[in-house]
Amino acid sequence: MEILLFLSSGLFLGWSLGANDAANVFGTAVGTRMIPFRTAAIVCSIFVVLGATISGAGAAHTLGKLGAVNALAGSFTVALAAALTTLWMTRLKIPVSTSQAIVGAIIGWNLYSSSVTDTASLTKIMLTWVACPLISAVIAVCLFILVRKLVAMSKPHMLRLDAGTRLGLLLVGAFGSYSLGANNIANVMGVFVPDNPFSDLSVFGLFTLTGVQQLFFLGAVAIGVGVFTYSERVMSTVGGGLVNISPVPALVIVLAQSITLFLFASSSLEHFLASRGLPTFPLVPVSSSQAVVGAILGISLFKGASIRYRVLGEISLGWVVTPMAAGVVSFFLLFFVDNVFDQQVSRTVEYRIDEVVCEELVERGIPTEGLVELGPGVFTNAVKFKSDVKQIGALDEEQSSVVLELARVGHWEVQESVIANDLDTHWLTTGQVDALRSMKGLRFDHLWRFNQALAEASPEWKLLPETTVNKLTNQELKKKLKYLGRLFKVDA
């Protein structure tokens, strides 16, 4: 019951996302009266659930890099802060970005728990906030030119064009809903992945739903409820508040934002591009609000249509205010939950520079002379520890991050019961599972030493040289190592 209580804030955030972001998929279709709201809500709910359950894991790990919320009460509070911020913006009829809300809330947790914010991940996410509307606008203009030429060539009857447009809006809306679920479920349930209460479930022996898929399914259902109960309010803003939209451009807008979301959620596309040495799109939860507004503006500017700049200003202000508001709300809610309800919102992480760490640093070519001044004591404030490492050790950002990773201490034990009952054998290869079994009973004080022992036990646990072709293989392996770090961590 405690777990379900804590998950309730994620369900609330899912409801808020459905109430707000469904407008980005079907807002133009409903706003132009081409599709009834009820039909749009049914289609959107079904395909959001499918997208979240089937393809939702791709974008979830970037949020974990930004800030690893390591206590269930902390995950509850972070999700609640993002949900309240999203609901507030929704009541103002502003298409808010839930991606920005959850990022702001996670940074609020980092500040409260004195955890280090991964600047590389934060930069990558913030760059997508700029790139997302621009990419969507370019795609929308290209699609609009193509559709206009196809219509001019075929010269369909008005009734046939109307029927085709309605069907097209329904189909691309379904695709957009799938992409929305695949990309944005990480915003809803991503912070709960480390403390996921669900285990693998076999469905009539036909297929297996992993614990993460069940978690994402639950969040997607909450999104669907939000679509039905509250999304019609925001659809009016997206569908006609920013600019007057005719049916054919409405079809193009939905398709453009759907493609944009898919680009940032598809691990298959990333693998396809990387295997051919081509640049890839980062698997990051992007804002469907920004994608649809970018598509609308792209077509409007191309057509020379009149834009309601006051509405655009309100939407843009919402994008700026959302992460800051969510961060502030998160910080104060964490203080409240921690001190009033006496719930553990973060677990203490300890750091120590010992002889083993120094030897590994020398092996990696990182100087250790200045680090001995920090002494053999244990540090619990990650932000201060990293700052001292940079200043006293005269190290750059990348080197100090390596020190932080190696100096983390704890207790990891490869337990037979965990392997038998909790290990996700569907995700790991046979060779990887066999390597774990060969290490039963071994204990480690550093996570990196556990990872090293795995690499020695099987080459399938060894990271490959960093090349474009090996990039995705190493990313997947790092996800598995992070998963094992959570699974085999034990109390002292």
pLDDT in tens, 401-459: 999 999 999 999 999 998 988 787 877 899 999 999 999 999 999 999 999 999 999 99
Q: What separation in angstroms does the CA of 310 have from each of 246, 314, 316, 317, 319? A: 21, 6, 10, 10, 14
Q: Assess contact for 109 and 334: CB atoms under 8 A.
A: yes
Q: How confident is the model at residue 151 (pLDDT cuts 50, 70, 90)?
A: confident
Catalogue the E-assigned strands of 84-224. 201-203, 207-209
Residue 342 confidence (pLDDT)? 92
Residue 316 burial class via C-beta count within 10 angstroms: exposed 0-12, middle 13-18, buried 19 and up? middle
CA nearest neighbour of 481 among 467, 463, 456, 459: 463
Give residue 418's Cα distance to chain centre.
27
Residue 201 in tokens: 């479930």
Cβ within 8 Å of residue 328, ≥6 positions away: 108
Position with higher pLDDT, 447 vs 483: 447
The 10s digit of each residue's pLDDT in 190-248 is 778 766 777 777 777 777 777 778 888 999 999 999 988 888 766 665 555 556 677 88
The 10s digit of each residue's pLDDT in 165-187 is 899 989 999 998 998 888 888 78
Beta strands 412-413 and 443-444 are antiparallel
Where in the chain are the domains? 2-339, 350-409, 412-487
Cα separation, 217 vs 194, in Å, equals 16
The 10s digit of each residue's pLDDT in 323-334 is 999 999 999 999
Q: What separation in angstroms does the CA of 316 have from each of 225, 237, 284, 311, 321? A: 27, 13, 21, 9, 9
Q: Assess contact for 389 and 366: CB atoms under 8 A.
A: no
Element of type H or E holding 454: helix 447-457
Give me the mean pLDDT over the 479-488 stretch.
86
Rounded to the nearest integer, the mean pLDDT of the chain is 85
Cα separation, 213 vs 198, in Å, equals 9
Q: For residue 147, is pLDDT > 80?
A: yes
Cα separation, 216 vs 238, in Å, equals 27
Give me the mean pLDDT over the 282-300 stretch.
85
Residue 229 in tokens: 């109960």
Q: For residue 339, is pLDDT > 90?
A: yes
Q: Assess contact for 284 and 76: CB atoms under 8 A.
A: no
Q: Assess contact for 57 and 189: CB atoms under 8 A.
A: no
Residue 435 burial (CB count, 10 A): 21
Cβ within 8 Å of residue 162, ≥6 positions away: 247
Q: Assess contact for 119 and 138: CB atoms under 8 A.
A: no
φ, ψ (nearest 5 deg) of residue 283? -80, 90
Q: For residue 264, is pLDDT > 60?
A: yes
Catalogue the E-assigned strands of 373-442. 408-409, 412-413
Position with higher pLDDT, 226 vs 65: 226
φ, ψ (nearest 5 deg) of residue 93? 60, 35
Residue 457 confidence (pLDDT)? 96
In sequence order, what are the beta bridge partners of 379? 351
The sign one gets for the Cα dihedral 464, 465, 466, 469 is: negative
Q: For residue 467, is pLDDT > 60?
A: yes
Whole-number CA gyration radius for the chain: 24
